[in-house]
Amino acid sequence: MTPSPALGATSEVGALQTVLLHRPGNELRRLTPRNNDQLLFDGVPWVDRAQDEHDAFAAALTERGVEVLHLDALLTDVLSFPSARAELIGAAVDDPRLGASLQRAATRHLAWLAPDELAATLIGGLAHDELRGGRGLAYEVMDRSDFVVPPLPNLLFTRDSSVWIGDEVAVTSLAMPARHRESTITAAVYTHHPWFAGSEQLYGADLEHLEGGDVLLLAPGVLAVGVGERTTPGGAERLARRLFARGLAHTVLVVPIAQQRATMHLDTIATMVDVDAMVMYPAMADSLRAWTVTAPDGVADDADPVELSVTGPRPFVEAAAEAMGIDKLRVIDTGLDPVTAEREQWDDGNNTLALAPRLAVAYERNTVTNAALEAAGIEVVRIAGSELGSGRGGPRCMSCPVARAPLPPR
C-alpha cells in the first residue's frame, strides 16, 4: 500500500480521494435483544445483509474513483508490531470488571493470537467461554455468554473516532463507554501504520469528549462543532484552541443540539452537499443557533491562558455564511410534512456523504429527501441501508475521509 501524497481535508465537499471504512463483521453477530441497547444499536441487524449493503457502499465509492481503506486490514498490519500489540492488548483488558487474575489470563490468551486473529478479537470481542485458561473470581461468577472483551459494533461508524482537519487528524474522545476502545484502535493505526507515517495527531482520547459526527468542515478554516449528547462544550473549546494554535482554522461555530438519541450528532441534523449548501432537518432549520469562537489575539497552544472571543448566539445559517465569506448558506428545502420529516431524519436522511460538490451518497429509503436534493441540483448516489441503519448512522457516519482535494479559490 503506497501512502497518499496529500492526506487531509479542508472541506466536506472537496473531491473525495481516500476514505476509511469498516466492513461490519462478527461484532454485529454479538448483538442480542439483551445487549443491543447497551451496545448502542436500536435493533439486532441481519448481519449478512448488512455486509452486502456495506460492500455495495464501498463499491459505489470505488466506482467513482475513491480509494477505500479498510480499518480491520490496517489494524491487522499494525498488530505485527510489538509496541502496537502491547498497547492494544493492554487497552482491551483495562477493565475494572475483570480483576487482576482475569486480566492476566485474558492478556495471555490475546498475546498468543496471530495478527489477523487478534484484530478480529479486538473488534469482535472475547466471550467467557472462548477464553483459554480463564481464572479468577470475576471469571467464575461470569455468565458463559458474558464478554471478557466486549465487541465494538459501532466501529462501523468510522467518522466518529477520527476526523481529518487540514493535514492533521483528530483522534476523538468518545462519550459512551461502549465505544471507548474504538479510539485506541484508531489511534494505534494512525500512530503505527506506515501509510500514515509522519501524520500529526491533533486531538486524543484522553481529552474532553469530542466525536467526529459533531464536526463539520464548512469551508477552509471554518468548522461547526455540535455540542449535545456526545460532544461537550469543553471538547469544542479544546479543539478550537488546538486548531487556532496550529493555523488550521480561524473560526469555530459551536452549535448546541438536543441531547437525545435521534440527534446524537450534528451530522444527523445537517450535512454539506455543495460549497454553499447543506441539507438540514426542517424541524431545526430555523432553531439552530451558533456561538462564534475566534482567537483575535492568537493562542500558542491549548493551555494558553489567552481568552477566546465568543460571540452570539445567532442563527446558525447566518453565522455560518458570515464565517464562510458567502452571501448566504443555502438550506435545501425538503418540503417534508412533519411526520415524513421526522421519519426520514431518524433514518439518516440528512446524513449524506459528499463525493464532490453537488454529488452525495444517501440511503435510498429516504425518497422524499433525495427527491428534494435532486430538485436542488444535487446528484444522489443511492445505497441500501435497511440493516446498516440499525445503529443510527448513514453514509457520512460510516466514512472517515482521509484525503479530499482542496476546493478551488473563490
Cβ proximity of 128 and 147 under 8 Å: yes
Cα atoms found within 13 Å of the Cα of residue 390, Cβ hemisphere only: 24
400 is catalytic: no
Calpha distance 126→128 (Å, rounded): 7
Q: Fill in the DSSP letter of residue 166.
A: B
- Cell 461490519, residue located: 24
Calpha distance 341→82 (Å, rounded): 50
Cβ proximity of 23 and 51 under 8 Å: yes
Give alpha helix (H) positions in 3-46: 26-29
Q: Which of 397, 398, 402, 403 is catalytic?
A: 397
6: phi then psi, degrees, rounded to nearest 5: -150, 95
Cβ proximity of 52 and 311 under 8 Å: no
Calpha distance 236→4 (Å, rounded): 29
Task: Estimate the share of the chain in helix, then strand, then coil, as percent rounded to the nearest 5.
Answer: 40, 25, 40
- Give the residue numbers annotated as catalytic, written as ranges: 397
